[in-house]
């Protein structure tokens, strides 16, 4: 797909930029106040973006971060990796790559060794507030962003076509992050406009059987508490669209394509200003229950990030 090739080329250019820019940013940020890398590449928690800008760059600086993540649930495995550029703590450019191993569920579809892969290019701009400087006021940091997603061609293409699901789409979001520095508490709320099925790994939207192919506006929430200056614990909740269920019923699958909300409980540790490690218990609900006997996809998440 031409979109995917263009995004991969963008990734290469960003990587070259990261090499030249990474050494230039010395941080004035407090540990963990820049968030970690989401599985989509934007700075935030593990599954939802925050209004913070990735990397260690502060005003007047350029910075870079890179991450690798692994999610293992009862039936699936997901690898995610990418990088982000932070520009003067005002703008963020990110590039993420995801690879979902469907495991035995792919065999059940007659598609052994089925991997669903997508590339995500993101842009974020801080439009108001400063999470640290405004920590003593009511004002949160506010950012707007977009994520351009392209799903690789796979053995699932024919099924997605029958369901009326596209293989590329764009998510739009606005995030508000409030840091209560004295209390060591961070709260984030995000509103996302999306058509992405299971974050885009099952395509975007659907039309079969009169399914809703319009954008859904869905909330996401994160809360983190600093146990120490370099250790944070918290939870996230992300409301997911359920656009494939109607199409699945029209295809004779009942609720076999129903999607549930995502949630996690995490701990993040930053032993230095340049490295952080995040572990989490995740609950993704049902993911294609037609092939998993309706089992909830619970499991574990581990992510490492380098930031300069």
CATH number of the domain residue 286 falls in? 2.40.160.40
Q: Which of 16-20, 35-39, 97-101 has the lowest mean pLDDT?
A: 16-20
**pLDDT tens column, 227-265:** 998 999 999 999 999 999 999 999 999 999 999 999 999
Nearest to 269 by CA among 212, 221, 226, 208: 226
Distance CA 181, CA 109 (A): 50
What does the pLDDT read at residue 28?
55
DSSP-derived 3-state class of residue 87: strand
**How far is CA 186 from each of CA 11, 128, 133, 140, 163, rounded to the nearest angstrom?**
31, 17, 14, 10, 40
This prediction has a pTM of 0.89
Range of the domain at 55: 2-307
Compute the Cα dihedral for 103, 301, 147, 93 and give only its sign: negative
pLDDT for residue 307 is more than 70: yes
How many structural domains does the chain have?
1
What does the pLDDT read at residue 17?
42
Confidence grade of residue 5 (pLDDT, cut at 50, 70, 90):
very low
What does the pLDDT read at residue 143?
98
Residue 296 structure tokens: 């909830």
Q: Where do runs of H (alpha helix) occur along 122-209?
A: 157-163
Distance CA 170, CA 122 (A): 10
Q: Which of 33-42, 75-84, 88-97, 161-170 has the lowest mean pLDDT?
A: 33-42
CA 150 from chain center: how many Å? 14
What does the pLDDT read at residue 20?
39
Q: Percentage of residues in the chain with pLDDT exceeding 70?
A: 91
Q: Percentage of residues in the chain with pLDDT exceeding 90?
A: 77
């Amino acid at each position: 797909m031409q979109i995917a090739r263009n995004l991969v080329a963008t990734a290469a250019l960003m990587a070259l930029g990261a090499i030249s820019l990474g050494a230039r940013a010395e941080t004035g940020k407090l540990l963990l106040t820049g968030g970690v890398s989401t599985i989509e590449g934007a700075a935030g928690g593990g599954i939802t973006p925050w209004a913070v800008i990735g990397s260690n760059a502060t005003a007047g600086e350029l910075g870079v971060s890179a991450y690798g993540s692994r999610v293992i649930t009862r039936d699936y495995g997901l690898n995610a990796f990418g990088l982000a550029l932070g520009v003067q703590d005002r703008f963020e450019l990110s590039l993420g790559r995801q690879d979902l191993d469907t495991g035995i569920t792919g065999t059940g579809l007659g598609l052994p060794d089925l991997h669903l892969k997508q590339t995500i290019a993101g842009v974020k701009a801080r439009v108001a507030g400063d999470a640290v400087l405004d920590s003593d006021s009511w004002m949160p940091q506010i950012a707007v962003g977009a994520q351009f997603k392209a799903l690789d061609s796979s053995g699932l293409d024919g099924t997605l076509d029958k369901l009326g699901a596209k293989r590329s789409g764009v998510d739009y979001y606005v995030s508000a992050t409030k840091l209560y520095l004295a209390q060591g508490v961070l709260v984030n709320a995000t509103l996302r406009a999306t058509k992405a099925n299971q974050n885009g790994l099952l395509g975007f939207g659907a039309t079969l059987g009169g399914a809703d192919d319009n954008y859904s506006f869905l909330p996401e929430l994160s809360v983190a508490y600093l146990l120490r200056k370099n250790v944070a614990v918290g939870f996230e909740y992300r409301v997911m669209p359920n656009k494939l269920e109607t199409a699945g019923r029209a295809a004779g699958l009942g609720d076999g394509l129903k999607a549930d909300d995502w949630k996690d409980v995490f701990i993040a540790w930053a032993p230095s200003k340049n490295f952080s490690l995040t572990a989490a218990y995740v609950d993704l609900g049902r993911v294609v229950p037609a092939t998993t006997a309706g089992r909830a996809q619970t499991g574990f998440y581990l992510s490492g990030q380098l930031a300069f």
